[in-house]
Every structure is written in structure tokens, then in C-alpha cells.
Homo-oligomer: A and B are copies of this chain.
């Protein structure tokens, strides 16, 4: 799911998002609550109509942003109060309020309000927070009214394997139509994240969608799918695009590198995105150099299309029974990334040295 924080996937139009193959995008409840306000969006006919997106929308609960962005946070059993990171105004969120906001936004999938657990807390705190998330999930389910909106539960459990499994079991018993897996990719090692993920997915029903929240690098997608994950969201693809980093099957390519300066080829050979079909790396390099926003757009389109094609190829491989091979082949070629980066850094150094002596 491309992330459309403020009712727009940064730099691209809804038509361009659709053309990348994305069928569902994510909207951030916390951000939309602050600007322009869920009440305004409701008056304008809901988020789909406001931003003119006719695909599906999933809204997060606001919980993660409360813990990552907001200031002066106080967590109680009933509610979380905090101050807006924009103007310092005080806001109180409860499970019921989160559901109310998401119903006003009119997303197709709403998420239960949860507490995201920091990576450095002790077992006792993680246990208490996970139990609070379970109680909040029950309250969300109770409060939820819209029949045209699915409410997903979120399992937590910190970085403790048994607690992860128990949280997934508890949520599964509540019988949600789908499940988010929260609180991973918050600083732990990749191998540890994959192991913990396995404990969550093992206890979630295979017949319902499992959504690994806030994870979106190609290597994490393939490892997530290998462990039974169906859905992902992350700002990674769009954020690194704005920094000039482009997904390719062999790793990330930075278009700002001088090696791209006269490259007549596309970002990725064989890619069918708008950027690769029409524009050279040389032109894209130039657009970044002169700080032209059209360049950010082309890079964003490519990265979103790369991930959409990647997911389609994984789905096909699963159907054909060749997923394990796909995974192995991909990870083998994607390991070239580090070499690629080193090569690029060298090329960059050489080029900057060269540029300094040019007129």
C-alpha cells in the first residue's frame, strides 16, 4: 500500500498511483485529524471523494503516530493524551474516538487503536501494553458501526516471541476480518524481526488477510510473504524516491550519482512505468540537480511500480509453486546492493573530483 499521509501520495496524482498497479492506499488518521480534520473530510463526502481516489483505502488508527510523532504523551488505560507536533494543541484519543474518526474518513479498512511498544522496554511493560492493546481492540470492535468498513485487529507483543504468539492468539479469538501485525521494524535486527514475525503469523488464521505494518523494503516484502503476510505499507518507497534512491532488481540506484549524468537508459530495463518508458536516467539526474519536482514524481512512480510488480510476481510464484525459488533468486541478486552502493560511492567521488576541475 502506497502511503498517502495527508490525503495524497506525495508528488503523484491519484491517476498515477492507480497506473502503478496499486489497488489500495493508506491514509494516516493522526495526520488527517490535524489537517484538514476528519470533520471537514466527512463534510466533503469522505476521503475517497475528497482526494478523488476510487480504489480502496486503509486508515491506520493513529496509534503509531501518537507514539512516534506527538509530544508530551500520557498513556492511560482509558485514553492517550498528547500534543500536536504542529501547533502543540492538546488532543485526546481513545479507542472509540479512533474508530469514530476512521468512520468519518470512510476508509474501506479501519484499524483498531493500539499501543506501539518501544524496542527498549522491559517484559513487564511490554506485557501490560499488549494487554491494554487487547482491551482497546475489544472496545474498538464494540464501538465500530459502519457495515461498509472492515475493522482489523492489531497484534503486538513487543520483541518477546511467546508474547507475540499469545497476542496473535488473543486477537484471533476476537474474530476480526483481518489482522495487523504491529510493533516490528522498530530498530531490531532483521533476522530477529523475521523470527518474531513468524510467531505472530503462526497464530493468525490463514484464511484472513495478515498485514505487516510499516514495513516496505523489497527484502522485507519477500521475507514477509515467505512467513504468510498478505499486505504491507511503508513510506520507504516514496520517501527514498524523493532522496533520489530508485529500486532496481539488483539494489538501490541513486540517480543523483554522477554515473547517471549521461546515462541514456531508463531506471530499470524492462520496467513498464511512466518514468522508464519515457525518460532517461540522464534527464532524471538533471531534474534532481536543478531541484525540479517533476523528477521526484518520476522516481516515486518508478518505486511504486517496482513494488507493485514485485508483489504480482510473488503472487504468481506462489500460485505456480515456485515461490521458494523466486525468493532465493531475488535475495541472491539483491545482495549485490552493497557492492552497487560502494561502486556508486566511488563513481560519485571520482565524478565530484572531476566536476571540480570542469568549467
Q: Residues of A with Cβ closer than 8 Å to B?
A: 6-8, 10-13, 35-36, 40, 43-44, 50-52, 89, 261-262, 264, 278-280, 282-283, 286-287, 289-290, 292-294, 296-297, 359
Min C-beta distance of A43 to chain B, whole Å: 7
Contacts of A261 in B (CB 8 A): 36, 40
Known contacts A262-B43, A286-B6, A294-B13, A279 near B36 by CB under 8 Å: no
Query: Are B292 and A6 within 8 A (Cβ)?
Result: yes
Min C-beta distance of A308 to chain B, whole Å: 19
Cross-interface CB contact of A278 among B10, B52, B286, cutoff 8 Å: B52
User: 10 interchain pairs (CB within 8 A)?
Assistant: A6-B287, A6-B292, A7-B286, A8-B287, A8-B290, A11-B292, A11-B293, A40-B262, A44-B282, A293-B297
Contacts of A279 in B (CB 8 A): 52
Q: How far is it, in angstroms, between the C-alpha of A35 and the C-alpha of B44 when the chains are bound?
A: 44
Query: Are A10 and B50 within 8 A (Cβ)?
Result: no
Query: Are A283 and B7 within 8 A (Cβ)?
Result: yes
Contacts of A10 in B (CB 8 A): 292-294
Known contacts A89-B359, A293-B296, A283 near B6 by CB under 8 Å: no
Query: Are A290 and B44 within 8 A (Cβ)?
Result: no
Given contacts A10-B293, A12-B294, A89-B359, 15 further A-B contacts (CB under 8 A): A6-B287, A6-B292, A8-B287, A13-B294, A13-B297, A35-B289, A35-B290, A36-B282, A36-B289, A40-B262, A44-B262, A44-B264, A44-B282, A50-B282, A52-B283
The 5 closest A-B pairs by CB, nearest first: A6-B290, A293-B293, A36-B286, A8-B292, A8-B294
Q: How far is it, in angstroms, between the C-alpha of A35 and the C-alpha of B283 when the chains are bound?
A: 11
Min C-beta distance of A14 to chain B, whole Å: 8
Cross-interface CB contact of A283 among B12, B43, B50, B296, cutoff 8 Å: B50
- Tell me the nearest residue of chain B to A84, going by C-beta: B359
Contacts of A289 in B (CB 8 A): 35-36
Contacts of A8 in B (CB 8 A): 287, 290, 292, 294
